[in-house]
Amino acid sequence: MAQLNVNGKMVQVDVDPSTPLLWVLREQLDLPGTKYGCGIAACGACTIHIDGRATRACGIAVSSVTAQQKIVTIEGLSPDSSHPVQKAWLAMDVPQCGYCQSGMIMTAAALLAEKPKPTDADIDSAMANICRCGTFVRVRAAIHSAAGTSNSKG
Amino acid sequence: MNTHEISRRSFVGGITATAGGMTFGFHIPFDANLAHAAAGAATPEINAWVVVKPDDTVVIRIARSEMGQGTLTGLAQLVAEELECDWSKVTTEYPTPGQNLARNRVWKDFGTGGSRGIRTSHDYVRMGGATAREMLKLAAAAEWKVPAGEIVAAQSILAHKASGRSASFGQMAAAAASIEQPKGVALKDPKDWKIIGKPMPRLDTADKTNGKLVYGIDLKLPGMLNAAIRACPTFGGSVTSFDAAKVKAMPGVKHVVQVGDNAVAVVADTWWRAKMALDALPITWAPGPNKDLSSAAIKAVLTEGLTSEKDVFIGNSSGDAKTALSGAAKTVEAVYSVPYQNHATLEPMNATAVWTADKCEVWCPTQNGEGSLAAAAKAAGHAQNKCDVHKFPIGGGFGRRGSFQDYVTQAVLIAKQVPGVPVKLIWSREEDMTQGHYHPVTMGRMVGGLDDKGNLTGLHMRISGQSILSVVRPEGLQNGKDPVVFQGVAPDDPVKPTANEHALCYSIPNLLIDHAMRNPAVPPGFWRGVNVNQNAVYVECFMDELAKAAGRDALEFRLALLGNQPKAAAVLKAVAEQANWGKPMPDGVQGRGLAMMRSFGSYTAALAEVSVSADGKLKLHRIVAATDSGYAVNPTQIAMQVEGSFVYGLGAALHQEITIKNGGVVETNFDTYPTLKLSEMPKVETIVMPSGGWWGGVGEPTIAVAAPAVLNAIAAATGQRIRSLPIKDQRIRV
Ligand code: FES
Ligand code: FES
């Protein structure tokens, strides 16, 4: 039985300790906003926050997360889509199919928490998420908009 | 906290929040008399396309599939324009293919591919909106006892000036629903459009920013089990045996089943447990006849085809190319190649099915709901009217989920072995990478002849390689010839220049374009942009090579061949002007490259600016792109499609190759099949220049110009010509 702190609530799950956190979130905790894209920590679709750091949930076993660590998923980023990144995403119509976007938004939110005024180089290195629809131009613009910084690639 | 409670809440909340009025029960109304009760709407519909609820919410029915390309919003704009409704009140829903069948295909084609979402349905979709508007007017006229012609509809309000009466659409909807549909309602003149042509925000963005949008892969039904599948890793191979006893006792495992003759699935309480058991399951395969197939063997076959006269089909010819070439002052020759590539939609293939002895229901992402229904019915062994398919928002399509319904077939074949229980099948990424329907492999041999003034007098283009239709839709072959192979280089119609949406734009006096059909045993498929992509590399890179050999400017050389194609010339000039072609390059840029293509009814051009460092590292600085799609329903959506096309097209050009070894695919995931990253993405400037008068597609045409523009820029920067894709692992590092 694993104890987890997810989106501000303590939950208990009964799974094999080696189960990736991604599948615990999706299948045990019914938080399907965190997506499966590769399962090998290569695409970023499953990005969540653990103690504020962007983390790929497919790559960590549920047993390696403690009850003290705070897990936040896209569902818990804000109660009403009011996080500045979410607002910028909506205002700039960033998503296409949307499948990568939970991971994109969680990665961007963690970046801004760490670097409130990111440069394009910061964005380049943080935003390594795969988007097959190709929303990158707008992802970059929306991060700048949320941060109030200027876009040298705009 | 009780996890069961979370489960119930998020299931119910998720579905109702995102799927509007769609029903998700096991009781589908298998009733032909759905005319006034479609899609679970409590409010009667005005017609098949429009429901207006008492609170004035307008529900627009969308037959085509949204997969990120914005067609949902674009189609809603078309209906709303004619309906004269308040755009802020618009929502959408998908009718099911079963309902379409029951209602004699009232929504016509559900197929969403070939950039056809809007351009092949705009007329009847707009008519749906116009007819509903007239019915609302007729209802008001009857109630107010005034002539319908005196009633004005605007912003969801019906008003009669003389009597001062007015009503909202919602107030009049119930009465309108019982009015007979008028025929031959006139559509608005494009100059009066207020919603079409405007950059309306997408209708489906909000739930994509908070995790609420429910994709097929997220579906959870009461009592549902999950399945993981593995198909034979060798194309054409089959299952010999598997040892279910070895995994039956693993946690959560319920069933181990064979699926068709080439796959095995484990069904468990959760997908992760199903996958763990599948990974542990001993399976013996019969590799079949293709076990020795390799990329090298395929290349040898295609190389032979470059000069062979066997199984050659002519796609475009005029004059006498061979004579012109033999008499040319100078001939130029080049051979190019494009590898197999996978769609790799970010949402892996998935479908949920429940089968009983008398019916079958499927929930899935699909680009072709009717195709899914046909596949489900066939696998179920039931008539189509005993089955239905519920479409979900799609996490990327790119052609993978249209003609190919393998994942639906598999889900039903699994569900059939667990009667009455819903089973959700999810492919692993590894399955998705190795069981694809790949962008087919072709090579192109180009021979051009120049006269002593550097004019192009003759061209022979030989395409050697795989035909999609001969595998996927053989009935589409024309006396053995696959017309799809000639996309982008097909003959033009001199009388009606927009008749062939994939015509070669250049006028070349002596021309021969032919195809040596060589079909390796690797499943080919329609991949965003289809054969235009390969052909654009061959034609547009060669245009630069010819211009160079002629000592002429690459833009001027092209324009000289575009005298009959002013729209093609216009997009090319637009990108050249914006980037100051012929003038000094911006700091750091070492080369510029151009490309132009006409495909899916639209004209597109691209200009790339690149640099290559001393140690061969490529940097993309800037892309300028122009699109003329005739009418432009939503310029912002078009810009998004253009930007996305460069990501898709350049990802393929720089990084992607599916290689074949021992009859199967080597690459298994995004570590070996990389995509373009944000850090590689240059600035994109999009010029949307709709010249009006026809409807071209926008989801695909730009892909094709991405690769040749960059290849031409690399050649301009380095003097070295890369002729085979992907660019990586050659002289250039990416
Ligand atoms: S699913 Fe976790 S990184 Fe791709
Ligand atoms: S929006 Fe479709 S994968 Fe990113």
* CA A39 from centre of chain: 15
ipTM of the predicted structure? 0.97
The C-alpha angle with vertex B337 and arms to B334 and B343, in degrees rounded to 5, equals 155
- To the nearest whole percent, how much of chain A has pLDDT over 70? 99
Report chain A residues whose CB lies below 8 A from the CB of B648: 132-134
For tokens 């990416």, the residue is B734
Domains and CATH numbers, chain B: 43-210 (3.30.365.10), 216-289+349-426 (3.30.365.10), 295-341+438-729 (3.30.365.10)
Mean pLDDT of chain B: 90
Q: Could you give all domains of chain A from N- to C-terminal order, each with its CATH number?
A: 2-77 (3.10.20.30), 84-147 (1.10.150.120)
CA gap B25, B34 in Å, rounded: 17
Q: Are strands B263-268 and A47-50 parallel, antiparallel or unpaired?
A: unpaired
Residues ≥6 apart with Cβ < 8 Å to B638: B627, B629, B632, B686, B688, B698
Average pLDDT over residues A98-118: 98
Other CB atoms within 10 A of residue B474 CB: 11
pLDDT recorded at residue B74: 86
User: Quick one: average pLDDT of A90-95?
Assistant: 95
Identify the three-state secondary structure at position B87. helix
Here the tokens at position B78 are: 């078309």
Q: Which ranges constitute the DSSP H helices of B512-660?
A: 532-550, 554-560, 566-578, 635-655
Residues whose CB falls within 8 Å of the CB of residue B410, separated by 6 or more in sequence, listed in order:
B229, B259, B260, B263, B265, B351, B379, B425
Cα(B222) to centroid of ligand 1, in Å? 27
Please report which helix (H) or strand (E) contains residue B706, including its range: helix B701-718
Answer yes or no: is the C-beta of A133 below 6 A from any ligand 2 atom. yes
List pocket residues of ligand 1, CB cut-off 6 Å.
Answer: A 36-39, 41-46, 56, 58
pLDDT in tens, B581-604: 999 999 999 999 999 999 998 999
Most A CBs within 10 Å: which of B342, B346, B622, as the mutation test of the A interface?
B346
Structural contact between residues B237 and B435, judged by C-beta atoms closer than 8 angstroms: no
Residue B699 near residue B115 (C-beta atoms within 8 A): yes
Q: How far apart are CA B387 and CA B381, in angstroms?
A: 10
Q: Which atom of ligand 1 is nearest to the CA of A38?
A: 4
- B135 phi-psi bin (left φ>0, alpha ψ -120 to 50, beta other): alpha
Which residue is closest to A139 within chain B, CA to CA? B678
Ligand 1 atom 3: the closest Cα is on which residue? A41
**pTM of the shown model:** 0.92
Helices and strands in chain A, H and E counts: 5, 5
Q: Is B347 within 8 Å of A123 when comparing Cβ atoms?
A: no
User: Which backbone phi and psi does B11 adopt, to 5 degrees?
Assistant: -65, -55
Q: Please indicate whether, in this complex, the C-beta atoms of B679 and A89 are within 8 angstroms of each other.
A: no
Ligand 1 binding pocket mutation candidate from A21, A26, A58 (most atoms within 8 A of CB): A58
| Block residue for tokens 């151009």 | B594
**What is the enclosing helix (H) or strand (E) of B389?**
strand B387-391
Nearest residue, CB atoms, B209 vs list A42, A105, A154: A105
pLDDT score of B67: 84
Instruction: Measure A145 CA to nearest chain B CA, in Å.
Output: 16
Distance between CA atoms of residues B604 and B627, nearest Å: 5
Q: Which residues of chain B have pLDDT under 50?
A: 1-41
| Structure tokens belonging to residue B655 | 């990084």
* A79 token code pair: 């109660």
Q: What is residue B9's predicted lDDT score, i.e. its pLDDT?
A: 28
The b-or-e profile of B130-157 (16+ CB within 10 A means b, else e) is: bbbbbbbbbbbbeebebebeebebeebb
CA dihedral A99, A103, A105, A107 (to 10 degrees): -160
**Closest alpha carbon to A116 in A149, A91, A152:** A149
Which residues touch B583 (CB under 8 Å, ≥6 apart)?
A: none
- The upper half-sphere exposure of residue B454, i.e. CA atoms within 13 Å in the direction of its Cβ, equals 16
